[in-house]
Amino acid sequence: MTKPAITIHGGFFSELTTSPETKLAKQEALRFIIRKSWDFLQTHSALQTAIYACTLLEDDPLFNAGTGSQIQSDGVIRMSASICDGETQKFSGVINLEDVKNPVLVAEKLLDCEDRILAGEGALRFARSHGFGYYDPRIPIRIQDYEARKKAASKTGTIGCVALDSEGRLAAATSTGGKGFEIVGRVSDSATVAGNYANQFCGVSCTGVGEDIVNGAVAAKIVTRVTDGMPLKEAVEKTFAELKPFDGFAGIVAIDHFGNMIQKDSHPHIVYALKNEGSEEIFG
């Protein structure tokens, strides 16, 4: 029987503000969410837990996903999220989805569909047809930030979870509100295998600049290397070394099938938490 493990992240500290108060608030939020998600994992699968943890993160306005997502250049919030089930090797996602509360739950509905990645208007029609009603994810600070930064977008934030359950199953889920003030139609890494991927050997969730993460194929590379027999730490280090030539801005959380957990960022600092039977850590 496998010992369960879970790790979550809430993007980079610089994504909203660098104030000590916000850092502390994010740390406390992650501590609360990882404890709730750990309890949930005791009686649920890795897939169910990864989705559950992401909904909690999406619902917290401190993080750039779901409620509190960044506003794009035309004043509209468009969100992306994906799920990867390591057991079935099914990947599903939504790209540039508007006016729903929890994009990761729409991605969950797509897991059982033949067409599993939907974008824009099609994603919204699918969401509405499955009972996801209208929801405005804007919060006052995002509106103020948008008005103040119409000529300068900020660097980034995303939320995610990787979970390993007692049956040895791995799953990853990732959700983002984008980088803020991006060109309409821009696609985030979060609904691609570059930003969110898992199989029976490893699961990875990414945050950072989506273009850099896609350029580096970060999650897929790490998972592939672990699958091919490379230790998790070595796979992560090698993948991040390959970001250096273009100064790639990325952070990850990952778990392998042995229960090893790791966090890594190329620019300080990703905010994350991890938990198994013997540890709990909140990075500050």
Mean pLDDT of the chain: 91
Residue 240 structural domain? 5-90+138-276
Indicate the pTM of the whole model: 0.90
* pLDDT at position 270: 87
115 in any annotated domain: no
130 in any annotated domain: no
CATH number, domain containing residue 59: 3.60.20.30
122 in any annotated domain: no
131 in any annotated domain: no
Q: pLDDT tens across 229-268, in order?
A: 999 999 999 999 999 999 999 999 999 999 999 999 998 7
| 158 carries an active-site annotation | yes
108 in any annotated domain: no
Long-range contact set of residues 113-122: C-beta below 8 Å, sequence gap at least 24: 116/90, 116/91, 116/92, 117/82, 117/91, 117/92, 117/93, 117/191, 118/93, 118/94, 119/94, 119/95, 119/187, 120/78, 120/95, 120/96
Q: pLDDT tens across 197-233, in order?
A: 999 999 999 999 999 999 999 999 999 999 999 999 9
267 in any annotated domain: yes
Indicate if the pLDDT at residue 284 is higher than 70.
no
Selecting among 55, 67, 158, 224, the annotated active-site residue is: 158
What is the helix (H) or strand (E) element at residue 264, kind and residue range?
Answer: strand 261-265
Q: For residue 269, is the peptide bond before it cis, meaning its omega torsion is within 30 degrees of 0?
A: yes
239 in any annotated domain: yes
**Distance of alpha carbon 239 from alpha carbon 218, whole angstroms:** 7
Considering its fold, how many domains does the chain have in total?
1
161 in any annotated domain: yes
